[in-house]
Structure 1
């Protein structure tokens, strides 16, 4: 069997953010399962229509998750109702429209709306992704060279390359009851957005 070394490298390329990601959810309480689901469905539809009316294109509107769970009394014994929810993921390509969008969502869904995160982002362009790949490969090669030196060998031909997934950031929670105040004149700004990836490379040892 050919001697080899396998190393995972990580690479990041920074780009200027050009869009905003809004992560929200609609959450409704009712005494019956069907009623909770119906309310969540209708309020979600209203929120999605409000997003469409405020310029969020169909490709940028999606639902991420849906579920229902029981609510219990203060003693945790008897079921007193049910909570149904549905998550929304909205991509806003004009950051100046985020404030008006949040106000529209709150108006459409009312107190059923919760905003889980508002963050700057950028679509990974082919050039940005290629730059991140090159950085990841360079990181992997540097690590592999160190291991090869310790083993008294040198790197030979590349045997395999396997790319990992793009890294994503997680939003910080914010309750929607303050959406109107938050949306008033909110400037959503960001310095740079990181496009990151990883590659696992196997080299032959010579």
Structure 2
């Protein structure tokens, strides 16, 4: 369910309120009068919040071995085990991708090498949030090589949320313009311009650390908000 709310603050500018005349020469050489139209500028804000419906899990494996070859081979074996566990937890192959692959030496009093460390990361997209705990448990159950590096939540259909926020921002601006026109004893005329200001306040909600495994119902995606600000210029009659 989408909840809509808007902020009360607004920018308000009136130009040419008295309709001051400006003089210009006509085609036949006589002086004519051009009356500048009055304008009002208002800023509207729209904020829409909705529960995320998608989770990204950053998982992986990490191993240490005496040689580079042994470390790399062990990491690949552990990563295959992790992938198999995630698929068994209900994820689709298309929702798994390798996000990291590294191999490097470890030192004790550089440049003395004491071993090699290899890692392989996997990003898993969980589309059914009811199974989020099951997926995390499956990743953690791979063994001592398993690593959980964090999760984030997203709304899959961001465009629909932005459209709703734009509509709310425009309604907010129109209501303010009508009020200011009434306060100034004028009538609201046509729209001169509409400008959407800045970017949209949106993006994934991060949640880091293995504390996500605290209990059987530990995952809480909360709400994600998208904000839009629009500046609208009206004529005043």
Q: Which residue in the other structure is 2:146 paired with?
A: 113
Contact in 1 for aligned 2:154/2:203 (Cα 8 Å): no
Describe the shift of the 1:192–1:25 C-alpha distance in structure 2 as closer, same or farther (beyond 3 A).
same
1:185 aligns with 2:219: no
Q: Which has the higher contact order (CA 8 A, sep 6+)?
A: 1
Offset at residue 164 of structure 1 (A)? 8.3
Offset at residue 61 of structure 1 (A)? 1.3
Describe the shift of the 1:63–1:194 C-alpha distance in structure 2 as closer, same or farther (beyond 3 A).
farther
**Distance (Å, rounded) in 2 between the aligned partners of 1:120 and 1:24:** 15
Offset at residue 103 of structure 1 (A)? 2.4
Contact in 2 for aligned 1:23/1:87 (Cα 8 Å): yes
- Specify which structure has the higher proportion of strand: 2
Describe the shift of the 1:80–1:134 C-alpha distance in structure 2 as closer, same or farther (beyond 3 A).
farther
1:37 aligns with 2:72: yes
Contact in 2 for aligned 1:120/1:188 (Cα 8 Å): no
TM-score by length of 2: 0.56
SS at match of 1:64: strand
Describe the shift of the 1:27–1:93 C-alpha distance in structure 2 as closer, same or farther (beyond 3 A).
same
**Which residue, 112, 129, 137 being the options, matches 2:162?**
129
SS at match of 1:189: coil
Q: Which residue in the other structure is 2:101 paired with?
A: 66
CA RMSD of aligned residues (A): 3.7
Q: Deviation string for 1:139-181 (max 9, x for gaps)?
A: xxxxxxxxxxxxxxxxx7689x997896444442338xxx8xx
Contact in 1 for aligned 2:154/2:204 (Cα 8 Å): no
Contact in 2 for aligned 1:51/1:104 (Cα 8 Å): yes
Contact in 2 for aligned 1:20/1:121 (Cα 8 Å): yes
Contact in 1 for aligned 2:47/2:228 (Cα 8 Å): yes
**Distance (Å, rounded) in 2 between the aligned partners of 1:194 and 1:111:** 37
From the CA coordinates, give the structure whose radius of gyration is larger.
2
- Structure 2 stretches of 5 or more lacking a match? 1-44, 172-191, 231-237
Aligned length: 171
**Which residue, 104, 107, 111 being the options, matches 2:138?**
104
SS at match of 1:128: helix
- Specify which structure has the higher proportion of helix: 1
Offset at residue 28 of structure 1 (A)? 1.1
Tell me which moved more, 54-63 or 162-171: 162-171
**Which residue, 59, 81, 99 being the options, matches 2:115?**
81
Q: Which residue in the other structure is 2:129 paired with?
A: 95
Contact in 2 for aligned 1:167/1:196 (Cα 8 Å): no
**Distance (Å, rounded) in 2 between the aligned partners of 1:70 and 1:162:** 46
1:174 aligns with 2:210: yes
TM-score by length of 1: 0.64
**Distance (Å, rounded) in 2 between the aligned partners of 1:137 and 1:72:** 60
